[in-house]
Structure 1
Amino acid sequence: MAIRKILIVTNIPTPYRIPLFNEVYRQLKVRGIELKVLFGAEGYARRKFRFQAEQCQFPFAFLGSSSVAFGDSEKTMFSYGGIMKAIRAEQADRVVVSGFSLATMRLWWRSWWTRQEYIIWSGAIAHPGRNDSFLRRLQRRLVVSRASGFLAYGTLAKDYLIGLGARPDRVGLAFNTVDTTFFSEETEGLRKSLTAGPPFHLTYVGYLSARKNVVRVLEVVKKLKESRTDFVLDLVGDGDQREELENWAKNNGLETCVVFHGYKQKENLPAILARSSVFLFQTDFDIWGLVLNEAMAAGLPVICSPHAGAAPDLVVEGETGFIMDYADTIGVANRVSQLLDYPEQARQMGIRAADRIRQRFSLTDSARAYVETLLAEG
């Protein structure tokens, strides 16, 4: 079948998705194929980034979608109102839809009386107690059963799709990534003008929410402070637990070695990453963790939680960083101390991390795999 037009349906235009869509649009355009992106909404309460329409090189439109937050501040559902009308109007040959959303359910329903092909783009991974209820797995098996193809964020996401019944040969691996060139070049340019510590900077970037459990990082800092004071932890991000974490730091005597920076836009992150010696990525559950891509692209050694979906794909143990459970406070603190005591070894690890991102996880590579899956014969 000759493919003339592809439609992507996703929730909101994020700063990390726009560069990917630009590259996918470019690669499809040279093949004479149109691309259009339908966003459910422009944003929602928890997301603090600024949407800059001028950065979108691809055609896009917004659906009349409402959003509902439930459970906690991190769970938001979009209605994708008007999606059926939009799909009929666009007359795309294939539709890519994010995850197992209401949009995916509507496309599954529509597939019973039309020949519309839909491809599920998913980062969902197995997580006992979170996404393994009978009804949830049933719903996901249903939409998987009629999908013509799949795009997975990473290895764990691919395994999860196969576990739901997807044919392995129909699951494309388009690694989840960001504009890594931006973080590499901007950070390196700023780093040249800086003098190495002390004080050494440790960095965490992410939401300050219950799921991230950032108090684990503070516990590591408290333990580290028992043996050294030549460091500062830069906590970048905002969220429901910020006040609680600030109080915890104060009550445990960490005011002089922990700085809460709040949320920072993408363009402000290289200045923080450039002065950092080690990147700390703690989470109790992340289907991926794009801040890990950013930090590694910026040339930082990382200590990554095993509960991040990106860990097995990005982190080569002892080469680009370490995968460690932050519940092991003493072990993580000792590893941080080791990296600070041997800065040249840490620097070389950061160089290898940047090389790995450049060689396997660039926007161009991810978009190429994305396009190959879109154009694959069913």
Structure 2
Amino acid sequence: MLAIITNIPTPYRTAFFNVLNEELLKINESIHVIYCAETEPGRHWKFSPQENNYPYTFLKGLHPEFKNFYPHINIGLTACLKKLKPQWVLIAGSWNAPATIKVLLNKKKVDSPIVFWSEGHFDAQVRSNKYVDLLRKKVLKSINHFVVPNIKSKEYIHHYNSEAIVDFLPNTVDEDFFSLSPKDSKIESRNRKNLPLDKIIIVLVSSLDSRKGVLEFYDAFKKSNNDNLYVVQIGTGEFYENLKEKIVKDNLSNHYILTGQLEAKDVREYLISADIFALPTKSDPNPLSPIEAAFLKKCLLVSSKAGNAKDLISENKNGWIINEINEEDLIKNINKIAETERSKLEEMGEKSFEIVSASFTRKKAAQNLITFLQRIKK
């Protein structure tokens, strides 16, 4: 049995756990997921028991809040692990989460190989000073095995623990939902969404806040060669009204629209309409939206600050990586898009699909994890 410890249920993890359990059952193993809490502030997913095709336990505990940090203090975690007697323990969470620290302090009682599923990298660090860094290093050096979603996360782990054994485990998306069917048509989707047929359409999906670089992208778009470009910005947040006013003031309503927050089916429709997906983030551990866009065969423009940019983009073959979120780099990349033939963008989108199909499906991710676990049996 593989015991997985994680903070709360999320739709993308639940779906992956279902596939992982199916693959483990083929070798007479299974998973048991231990959740530290049912939800956290700002999370709007509803837990549906019928969607979880694997055993799970919700631990009782205390759940204080500290400025975007939500530690879960679960008294019964060690007892739960001792009862389950797992073959392996996979910790999916932050290095300083109480659950992580508790498992590491009770290694002998747990008596199973411990694997840490880490998404951290230097561009995504929120808290860092020499004292935090020393503690981080101490924790990460106490773990032998890691799985990470991207190259930047692997480099990060080896910075703190040069002897760590690290394998690749990407976060996955619903590749069936975010894949083209024979019924899908870019032209029909544009008509349904009242989008121009004669322009290159760039779609951005993110919260509208400073971390996502949305104002910088808009200002660069305004100064770029944008006559044949059209932008759809999906999402909401603190900059929504600001952007709305800027678009009207700059007379760009025929080139730049805000949709607000949308249901998944509408996000999919806009992505089908698009020629290119853009994510000018300033900090993102491992964003899922470019993976979704790649399954829909979109050319990608992603910031180097996104953890999986190098894993998803082969430069000039299926998109471009923005080095810095500044005016010069953004204008340069937006102009590249404007100067690229739409047929070429279509070819680049096909390449995006090849890349994610090779490594980012749930089944391949599950099989890769199982192979890794089998190498470290106790």
TM-score by length of 2: 0.87
The reply on whether 1:330 has 2:328 as its aligned counterpart is: no
State the Cα distance separating 1:65 from its structure 2 match.
4.6
Contact 1:79/1:103 (CA < 8 Å) preserved in 2? yes
Who is 1:278 aligned against? 276
| 2:189–2:270 contact (8 Å) kept in structure 1 | no
2:173 maps to 1:178: yes
Runs of 5+ unmatched residues, structure 1: none
Aligned equivalents of 1:243 and 1:89: distance in 2? 53
After superposing the two structures, state which structure 1 stretch, 312-321 or 124-133, moved more: 124-133
Which runs of structure 1 show a deviation greater than 6 angstroms over 4 or more consecutive aligned residues?
none
1:16/1:338 Cα in 2 relative to 1: closer, same or farther (>3 Å)?
farther
Please name the residue that 2:88 is paired with: 94
After TM superposition, give the deviation of residue 348 of structure 1 in Å: 0.5
Deviation at 1:108? 1.1
* 1:199 CA drift (Å): 4.3
CA distance in 2, matches of 1:116, 1:222: 56
Alignment of 1:1-378 (within 5 A): 5-71=1-67, 75-81=68-74, 82-98=76-92, 99-100=94-95, 101-111=97-107, 114-127=110-123, 130-165=126-161, 167-168=163-164, 170-185=165-180, 189-191=184-186, 193-194=188-189, 197-224=197-224, 227-228=226-227, 230-324=228-322, 325-327=324-326, 328-339=329-340, 342-377=341-376
Per mean C-alpha deviation after superposition, the further-off stretch among 122-131 and 313-322 is: 122-131
Structure 2 gaps, min length 5: 191-195
Is the CA contact (8 Å cut-off) linking 1:13 and 1:43 kept in structure 2?
yes
1: CA distance between counterparts of 2:186 and 2:55? 36
What is the letter of the counterpart of residue 268 of structure 1?
Answer: D
% identical aligned pairs: 21
Describe the SS at the equivalent of 1:161. Answer: helix
| Distance change in 2, residues 1:267/1:10 (3 Å) | farther
By how many angstroms is 1:353 displaced?
A: 0.8
Q: 1:52 to 1:187 in 2, by over 3 A?
A: farther
Q: In structure 2, what residue type is equivalent to 1:18? A: T
Name the CA shift for 1:270/1:143 in 2 (closer, same or farther; >3 Å): same
The answer as to whether partners of 2:213 and 2:325 remain within 8 angstroms in 1 is: no
User: Would you say the 8 A contact 2:146–2:166 is kept in 1?
Assistant: yes
Q: Contact (CA 8 Å) 1:301, 1:347: kept in 2 or not?
A: yes
- Of residues 210-219 and 58-67 in structure 1, the stretch that sits farther from structure 2 once superposed is 58-67
- 2: CA distance between counterparts of 1:372 and 1:203? 37
Q: Deviations over 1:164-193 (max 9, x none)?
A: 11524x211112322223211359735474
Against the structure 1 CA distance between its residues 295 and 114, is the aligned structure 2 distance closer, same or farther, given a 3 Å change threshold? closer
CA shift for structure 1 position 113: 5.1
1:281-305 per-residue CA deviation (whole Å, 9 max, x = no partner) reads 1100111211111111111101111
- Distance, in Å, in 2 between the alignment partners of 1:84 and 1:190 is 52
CA 204–186 in structure 1, closer or farther in 2 if over 3 Å, else same: farther
Distance 2:330 2:356 in 1: 28
Distance apart, 1:36 and its partner CA? 1.2
* CA pair 53-197 structure 1, distance change in 2 beyond 3 A: farther
For 1:142 and 1:255, the matched residues in 2 are separated by 53
* Pair 1:114–1:61, CA change in 2 (3 A): closer
- Whether contact under 8 Å (1:187, 1:273) holds in the other structure is no
The answer to which of 173-182 and 101-110 deviates more is 173-182
| 1:277 aligned partner, one-letter code | D
Report the secondary structure of 2:376's partner residue: coil
Amino acid at match of 2:82: R
- Residues 67 and 319 of structure 1: is their aligned pair in 2 closer, same or farther, counting only changes over 3 Å? farther
What is the identity, as a one-letter code, of the residue corresponding to 1:310? N
Checking the alignment, whether the CA contact within 8 Å between 1:236 and 1:263 is kept in structure 2 is yes
Which amino acid is 2:241 matched to?
E
Distance 1:240 1:186, change over 3 A: farther
User: Match of 2:70, as an amino acid?
Assistant: M
Question: 2: distance between equivalents of 1:198 and 1:299?
Answer: 19
* CA contact 1:188–1:274 (8 Å) conserved in 2: no
* Cα distance change, pair 167–227 in 1 and its aligned pair in 2 (3 A): closer
Q: 1:7 is paired with a residue of what secondary structure?
A: strand
* 1:286–1:307 CA contact under 8 A, matched in 2: yes
Root-mean-square deviation over aligned CA pairs: 2.5
- Relative to structure 1, is the Cα distance of residues 65 and 305 closer, same or farther in structure 2, using a 3 angstrom cutoff? farther
CA spacing shift, 1:267–1:37, aligned 2, 3 Å:
farther
Q: Which moved more, 1:270-279 or 1:193-202?
A: 193-202
| SS of structure 2 residue aligned to 1:183 | coil
